Amino acid sequence: MNLASQSGEAGCSQLLFANFNQDNTSLAVGTKSGYKFFSLSSVDKLEQIYECTDTEDVCIVERLFSSSLVAIVSLKAPRKLVMGADTEDVCIVERLFSSSLVAIVSLKAPRKLVMGGVRACVRAPSGHGGSDTEDVCIVERLFSSSLVAIVSLKAPRKLVMGADTEDVCIVERLFSSSLVAIVSLKAPRKLVMGADTEDVCIVERLFSSSLVAIVSLKAPRKLVMGADTEDVCIVERLFSSSLVAIVSLKAPRKLVMGADTEDVCIVERLFSSSLVAIVSLKAPRKLVMGADTEDVCIVERLFSSSLVAIVSLKAPRKLVMGADTEDVCIVERLFSSSLVAIVSLKAPRKLVMGADTEDVCIVERLFSSSLVAIVSLKAPRKLVMGADTEDVCIVERLFSSSLVAIVSLKAPRKLVMGADTEDVCIVERLFSSSLVAIVSLKAPRKLVMGADTEDVCIVERLFSSSLVAIVSLKAPRKLVMGADTEDVCIVERLFSSSLVAIVTDTEDVCIVERLFSSSLVAIVSLKAPRKLVMGADTEDVCIVERLFSSSLVAIVSLKAPRKLVMGADTEDVCIVERLFSSSLVAIVSLKAPRKLVMGADTEDVCIVERLFSSSLVAIVSLKAPRKLVMGADTEDVCIVERLFSSSLVAIVSLKAPRKLVMGADTEDVCIVERLFSSSLVAIVSLKAPRKLVMGADTEDVCIVERLFSSSLVAIVTDTEDVCIVERLFSSSLVAIVSLKAPRKLVMGADTEDVCIVERLFSSSLVAIVSLKAPRKLKVCHFKKGTEICNYSYSNTILAVKLNRQVGLCALSISNDNCYLAYPGSATIGEVQVFDTVNLRAANMIPAHDSPLAALVFDASGTKLATASEKGTVIRVFSIPEGQKLFEFRRGVKR
C-alpha cells in the first residue's frame, strides 16, 4: 500500500513515521499532532481504531511532602522537562524511589528509557499488539537498597512484552518497611492504563519520609480520579507509629471529595507534631462532621504527647458527642509504655460526664508524674465511686519498667475497700516515691491480712531489671506461713546465684520478669509453676528469650516446649542463650533439665553459645544433641567456646562429654587455646588431642612456634608424639602434651616423651631432652630424620640454649613513663631513648666506650641501668634527661 497516497484517509498530513506490527494487521502512524492506530481491514483500506488523546494522567512522586521534594505530578503531560508537542509525555526522575533509582516514565510509552523524540514508541489498545506495543519497566533498586525489579507486559521481568491478557504479581516485602509490591491484573506494572479491567496497587511508605504510594482501581497511578465506581483500599502500618492508610470506597486517593457517596480516610500527623489522623465518611479530611450516619475510627496521639485515640460511631471525629446511642471502643498501645486507651459505652470521648449511663476513660498522668489510668463504667473519670455496680480496669505500663496498674471490680480506684466483693490489684509507687503495690483478692490494698481466704501480692519492681517478686497461692507475699496449704515463692534474681523458689505440686504460680522484654525470665507452669524438672506429660512450660528479636532463642511447647528435633514425643528440650543472666547458658531437658552430661537415651541435652548470633556454636540433637562426628547413635557432643568465662573452652558429649573426635568411647582428650578465636592454638587429636599433622592413626606430630621464646619448637621423629600449647588457659600456663596420652607430662608409655626442645633458626638442628632420660641431650637433623649426636651428663638437664646472637632492647613497664631503650651504635655504647607515647626520640645517652651488653628500666620508668661488653661497670641514668646518677664498678665498695 502507498501510505503517502493514503495520508489524507489516515489523517497524517505531516507523516513522521509508520510502523506495522509483526503480523502486519495494524499500523501505527506518528505525526506532529499526535499518534494514530489503523487496522488493515483490507489490502487497500485503513480503518482507524485508536487515536491518542490528552485525557491520560501520569503521576510520579518521590518524597512528595518531605523536605527533599522530588515529586513530578501531571494530569495530561506529566513531568514534561523539555516538551514541544502537547502529545508528548516524558518523565525523568533522578533517584525516583531510592538513593540510586533513575526512572524514566512516559505518558504513552510508559517506562521507556529514551523518550522525547517524535519517534517515541506508543502503546496500542488492548487486543492490538504491534512492534511498538512493548512496555518495559526497569528499576535499579526500586524501593529498597537491593531490589532490582524488571517488570514487563507479557512475561514479568521481561524487558520486552506485548500481550494484555497476562497477569503478573511481583512482591518484595509487600507490607513490610521496604514495600516493593507490583500487582497488576492483565498488564503488570502499567503506570498509565486505560482499560477498565486493569488494577494496579503500589505502596512504599506512602506518608512517610519517602512517600511512594500509588493506588488506583481502573487507572493505576492516578492521584485524582473522578469515576464513582472505583474502590481502592491500601494499608501500610495502619495503627502503628508510621501510619500509611489509604481507604476509599469509590474514588481512590481523593483528599477532598464532595460527593456524599465517597469515603476516604487518610492519616498524616493531623494536629500535633506526631498526630496523623484524618477521618471522614462522606467528606474526606473533614475534621468536624455533623451527620449522624458517619462512623470513623482512627488512632494516633490525638490531644497529648502520648494520647492517640479518636473514636466515633455515627459522627466521625466528634470529640464530644451527646447521642446516647453511640458506642465506641478504641485502644492504641493499651499495655505499652504510652497508654492511649479510650473506652466509652454510648458517648465516645466525653471527658466530663454526669449521666450515670456515660462511660469514658482517658488518663495521661492524672495526679502524679507516674500515675496513669482512672476508668469508670457508668461515671467516667470518678476517682472515688461508691456505687457497687461500678467497674474500672486500666493499665498503664503493665509489663513495663514502671507498673502503674489499678484494677477494681465494683469500685474503681478504691485504695481501701471493705466489701468482700471488691478486688483490686497492683500499684507501683501509687502516691509516693517508695510505695510498692499490694494487691488482695477480697480486700484490696490491705498490707496485713489474717484471714486464710485473703490473697495478697507484693511486687517490688516485678517486671523491672531487679525482680524482687514474692507470690503466694492463698497468702501471696507471706514470708512466714504456718499452714501446710500455703505456697511461698521468694525470688531475688530468680535464676541468678541466689535461687530460692519453692512450689508445691497442687499449686499454680506464675512469675514474670520482663515477659515480653529483652530479658525475659518467664516461667509458666500448669500445676506446678516454676518446676524446672517436670516429668508429667500434662505440664506445659514456655521459655522465651527475645522471641521476635534479632537473637531469637524462643522455646515454646504444648506438652514438651521447644522440641527442636525430637524423636520421642515425651522428650522436651529448651535452649536458651544467656537466659536469665549475662553469662548463663541455659540447658533444659525433658525429664532432667540442665543436665550437662547424661547417659540415658531418654535424656536430651542442649548447650547453646550464641545460638542465632554471628558466632554460632549451638549444638542441638534429637536424642543426643550436637553430634559432630559420632559413630554410635547414643553419643552426644557439644562444643562451646568460652562457655561460662573468658577462657573456658567447653566440650560436652552425651556419654563422654568433652569428646571432640572420639575413636574409643572411653578415651577423650581435648586441648583448646582460643579454638574459635582469631589466634587459633587448638590441638585436637583422636587419642592425643592437638595432632595437627598426622601420618598414621596412632601417630601425632604438632609444631608450635614460640613456646617459651621466639624460637620455633616441637619437632619430633615419626615414633614420637608431642603437643605444645602456649598459655593454654591463662597468661602463664605453658602446656606440653606429647605421645599417645596428650597433656600428660609424665607418661608410662614405652616410647620417649620430650620435655625440652630447642631449635636454631638458621639450621635444621634440634636439641631434644626427654622425660625418661633427663640427663641425655640428643641433637637431631629434623629434615633428614637423623640423629647427629647424643650427649650424657651427670645431672638432670634443666635448660638448653643454642649459641646464637641475641638482640638488645628494654621497654619500661610504667604507664606514665613509657620509653624504649636500644643501642645506638655497634661499636660504642650509645643508648637511644624513644618516647613510645609521643612517638619521637627522647634522648641519646653516651653510656660506655664499648658496645652495650645489657639495658634495663626501673619499675617507674625514670631510671635506666646499662652495662658494656667489658663487664666492669654498671651505670644508672635519669630518664628522659640522660643525666648519670650512679656508677657501680667491679671490685669497688661504695
674-709 burial: b if 16+ Cβ within 10 Å, else e: bbeeeeebbbbbbbbbbbeeeeeeebbbbbbeebee
Does residue 369 lie within any of the structural domains?
no
Q: What was the pLDDT predicted at 757?
A: 67
Q: Which residues pair with 525 in a beta bridge?
A: none
What one-character DSSP code corresponds to residue 7?
H
CA 836 to CA 816: how far, in whole Å? 11
- All three cell numbers of 341, joined, read 486507651
Q: What is the mean pLDDT of residues 77-98?
A: 31
CA distances from 376 to 313, 322, 408 (A): 20, 18, 10
The amino acid at residue 491 is V
Q: What is the mean pLDDT of residues 596-613?
A: 29
**How many angstroms separate the first and last alpha carbons of the chain?**
127
**Final residue of a structural domain among 786, 803, 820:** 803
State the pLDDT confidence band at 828, using cuts at 50, 70 and 90: very high
Q: What was the pLDDT predicted at 111?
A: 34
839 pLDDT more than 80: yes
Contact 437, 459 (CB under 8 A): yes
Q: What is the mean pLDDT of residues 809-828?
A: 89
Does residue 216 lie within any of the structural domains?
yes
> Closest Cα partner for 262 from 294, 219, 297, 287?
294
Does residue 415 lie within any of the structural domains?
no
Q: Is the bond into 880 cis (omega within 30 degrees of 0)?
A: yes
- All three cell numbers of 583, joined, read 553469662
Neighbouring CB atoms inside 10 A of 289's CB total 20
**Final residue of a structural domain among 199, 223, 247:** 223
CA 216 to CA 198: how far, in whole Å? 9
State the pLDDT confidence band at 21, using cuts at 50, 70 and 90: low
State the pLDDT confidence band at 524, using cuts at 50, 70 and 90: very low
Neighbouring CB atoms inside 10 A of 143's CB total 24
Does residue 854 lie within any of the structural domains?
yes
Q: What is the mean pLDDT of residues 51-59?
A: 38
Question: Quick one: 61 and 21 in the same domain?
Answer: no
Q: Which residues contact 394 (CB under 8 A, 6 or more apart)?
A: 339, 341, 361, 363, 372, 373, 374, 375, 405, 406, 407
Question: Quick one: 46 and 59 in the same domain?
Answer: no
Q: What was the pLDDT predicted at 46?
A: 66
Element (H, E) at 8: helix 7-10
Least confident range from 89-93, 227-231, 671-675: namely 227-231
Q: What was the pLDDT predicted at 33?
A: 57
Range of the domain at 192: 55-223
Contact 818, 842 (CB under 8 A): no
Q: What was the pLDDT predicted at 768?
A: 82
Q: Which residues contact 675 (CB under 8 A, 6 or more apart)?
A: 641, 649, 682
Contact 197, 187 (CB under 8 A): no
**Residue range 352-399, pLDDT digits in tens:** 222 222 333 333 322 222 223 333 333 333 333 222 223 333 333 222
Contact 385, 403 (CB under 8 A): no
**Residue range 340-355, pLDDT digits in tens:** 333 333 333 332 222 2
Does residue 510 lie within any of the structural domains?
no
Does residue 425 lie within any of the structural domains?
no
More confident residue, 249 or 51: 51
Contact 159, 137 (CB under 8 A): no
Q: What was the pLDDT predicted at 813?
A: 85
Neighbouring CB atoms inside 10 A of 507's CB total 19
Neighbouring CB atoms inside 10 A of 809's CB total 11
Question: Quick one: 95 and 216 in the same domain?
Answer: yes
833 pLDDT more than 90: yes
Place of cell 638442628: 765
Which 3 state secondary structure label does DSSP give 863? strand
Question: Quick one: 831 and 769 in the same domain?
Answer: no
CA 408 to CA 393: how far, in whole Å? 6
CA 751 to CA 481: how far, in whole Å? 69
Q: What is the mean pLDDT of residues 523-540?
A: 30
Question: Quick one: 207 and 84 in the same domain?
Answer: yes
CA 332 to CA 589: how far, in whole Å? 40
* 328-332/340-344 β-pairing: antiparallel
Instruction: Give the percent of the chain with pLDDT over 90.
Output: 6
Neighbouring CB atoms inside 10 A of 570's CB total 12
Element (H, E) at 10: helix 7-10
Does residue 112 lie within any of the structural domains?
yes
Which 3 state secondary structure label does DSSP give 770? strand
Element (H, E) at 9: helix 7-10
591 pLDDT more than 50: no
- Counted domains in the chain: 4
Q: What is the mean pLDDT of residues 392-416?
A: 31
Mean pLDDT of the chain: 41
**Residue range 237-291, pLDDT digits in tens:** 222 222 233 333 333 333 222 222 233 333 332 222 222 333 333 333 333 222 2
Q: What was the pLDDT predicted at 871?
A: 84
Element (H, E) at 510: strand 510-511
Q: Is 658 left (phi over 0), alpha (psi -120 to 50) or beta?
A: left
Would you mind telling me the total number of residues written for the chain in this entry? 894
Contact 587, 606 (CB under 8 A): yes
776 pLDDT more than 80: yes
More confident residue, 890 or 366: 890
65 pLDDT more than 90: no
Question: Quick one: 32 and 169 in the same domain?
Answer: no
**Residue range 666-684, pLDDT digits in tens:** 233 333 332 232 233 333 3
Q: What is the mean pLDDT of residues 845-873?
A: 92
785 pLDDT more than 70: yes
Cα dihedral 613, 617, 621, 626, rounded to 10, equals: 170
Question: Quick one: 11 and 138 in the same domain?
Answer: no
Question: Quick one: 15 and 41 in the same domain?
Answer: yes
Question: Quick one: 83 and 218 in the same domain?
Answer: yes
Q: What is the mean pLDDT of residues 602-629?
A: 31
Q: What is the mean pLDDT of residues 704-719?
A: 28
690 pLDDT more than 50: no
Q: What was the pLDDT predicted at 535?
A: 26
486 pLDDT more than 50: no
> Closest Cα partner for 650 from 626, 614, 634, 621?
626
Q: What was the pLDDT predicted at 500?
A: 26
822 pLDDT more than 70: yes
Place of cell 596428650: 742
Q: What was the pLDDT predicted at 208?
A: 28
* 169-170/182-184 β-pairing: antiparallel
370-405 burial: b if 16+ Cβ within 10 Å, else e: ebbbbbbbbbbbbeebeeeebbbbbbbbbbbeebbb
Question: Quick one: 775 and 828 in the same domain?
Answer: no
Contact 138, 162 (CB under 8 A): no
868 pLDDT more than 60: yes
Q: Is 72 left (phi over 0), alpha (psi -120 to 50) or beta?
A: beta
The amino acid at residue 642 is R
Contact 746, 760 (CB under 8 A): no
**Residue range 643-668, pLDDT digits in tens:** 222 233 333 333 333 333 222 222 33
Q: What was the pLDDT predicted at 875?
A: 95
Question: Quick one: 756 and 866 in the same domain?
Answer: no
Phi first, then psi, for residue 543 (nearest 5°) are: -125, 130
Q: What is the mean pLDDT of residues 622-638?
A: 30
Question: Quick one: 711 and 787 in the same domain?
Answer: yes
**Final residue of a structural domain among 223, 247, 266:** 223
State the pLDDT confidence band at 815, using cuts at 50, 70 and 90: confident
Does residue 64 lie within any of the structural domains?
yes
The amino acid at residue 109 is A
Contact 282, 315 (CB under 8 A): no
Sign of the alpha-carbon torsion through 878, 882, 883, 889: positive
CA 17 to CA 35: how far, in whole Å? 10
Phi first, then psi, for residue 574 (nearest 5°) are: -125, 130
Is 7 exposed, middle or buried (CB count within 10 Å of its CB: 0-12, 13-18, 19+)?
middle
